[in-house]
């Protein structure tokens, strides 16, 4: 197969690694094999994906093509990361998270169980990018369980998106979002509660698309 596996990489049973992938790449300042890399069982790593060393990835993980995952992330089970997405280092991604195409997740973000990031979502982590002490202030968003981030939304540093909240497409989120609420706009503002959302296709027999719990 036309892919490269560096030293100190552990790959689980049933995992498929397609051509053009590189697994366990040593980050700057580290030697080949210095950081252990773990990929669980029954994963699919699609062509062109680069995974740096120090990642611990659970079972049933999958990537689209040309995904870039930097070093030292903690990624749970049943996580999917779409084509051309970038995950920087020291990110926590819990089980059942879905990250769509061309999403950017910078350092020090937390994506909790079952949250969903639509295509072209951008998370940010630097409140003042050219400050001499910027690296001391980096903190990405925390997206809580079951929250949904619509396509093309941008989240500013350190914001918290509450459990099962919904951020509308193309929104700019500048402050925390309460659980079970819908926000949208630039800047994003409260629109309604999730329980008040109605299905666009009543012929399907579903009145409300999301549970209120």
Q: Token pair for residue 29?
A: 């300042």
**Long-range contacts of range 103-108, CB-CB < 8 Å, 24 or more positions apart?**
105/140, 106/138, 106/140, 107/138, 107/140, 108/138, 108/139, 108/140
Rounded CA separation 106/68 (Å)? 12
Residue 104: other Cβ atoms inside 10 A: 18
Q: Which helix (H) or strand (E) holds 148?
A: strand 148-149
Which active-site residues does the annotation give?
Answer: 128
Q: Which helix (H) or strand (E) holds 111?
A: strand 110-111
Cis ω before 187 (30° cut-off from 0)? yes
Rounded CA separation 33/24 (Å)? 8
Rounded CA separation 192/183 (Å)? 7
Residue 19: other Cβ atoms inside 10 A: 10
Q: Token pair for residue 97?
A: 């998270």
Q: Cα–chain-centroid distance for residue 213?
A: 24
Residue 88: other Cβ atoms inside 10 A: 22
């Amino acid at each position: 197969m036309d892919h490269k596996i560096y030293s100190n990489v552990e790959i689980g049973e049933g995992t498929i690694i397609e051509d053009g992938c590189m697994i366990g790449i040593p980050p700057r300042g580290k030697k080949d094999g210095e950081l252990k890399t773990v990929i669980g069982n029954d994963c699919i790593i699609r062509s062109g994906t680069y995974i740096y060393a120090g990642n611990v990835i659970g079972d049933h993980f999958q990537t689209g093509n040309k995904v870039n995952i930097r070093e030292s992330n903690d990624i749970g089970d049943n996580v999917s990361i779409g084509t051309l997405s970038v995950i920087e280092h020291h990110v926590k991604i819990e089980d059942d998270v879905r990250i769509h195409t061309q999403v950017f997740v910078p350092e020090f973000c937390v994506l909790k169980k079952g949250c969903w990031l639509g295509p072209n979502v951008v998370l940010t982590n630097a409140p003042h990018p050219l400050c001499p002490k910027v690296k001391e202030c980096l903190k990405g968003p925390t997206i809580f369980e079951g929250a949904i981030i619509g396509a093309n939304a941008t989240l500013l540093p350190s914001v918290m998106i509450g459990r099962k909240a919904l951020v509308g497409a193309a929104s700019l989120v500048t402050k925390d979002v309460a659980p079970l609420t819908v926000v949208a706009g630039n800047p994003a503002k409260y629109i309604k509660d999730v329980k008040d959302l109605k299905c666009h296709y009543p012929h399907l027999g579903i009145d409300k698309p999301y549970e209120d719990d």
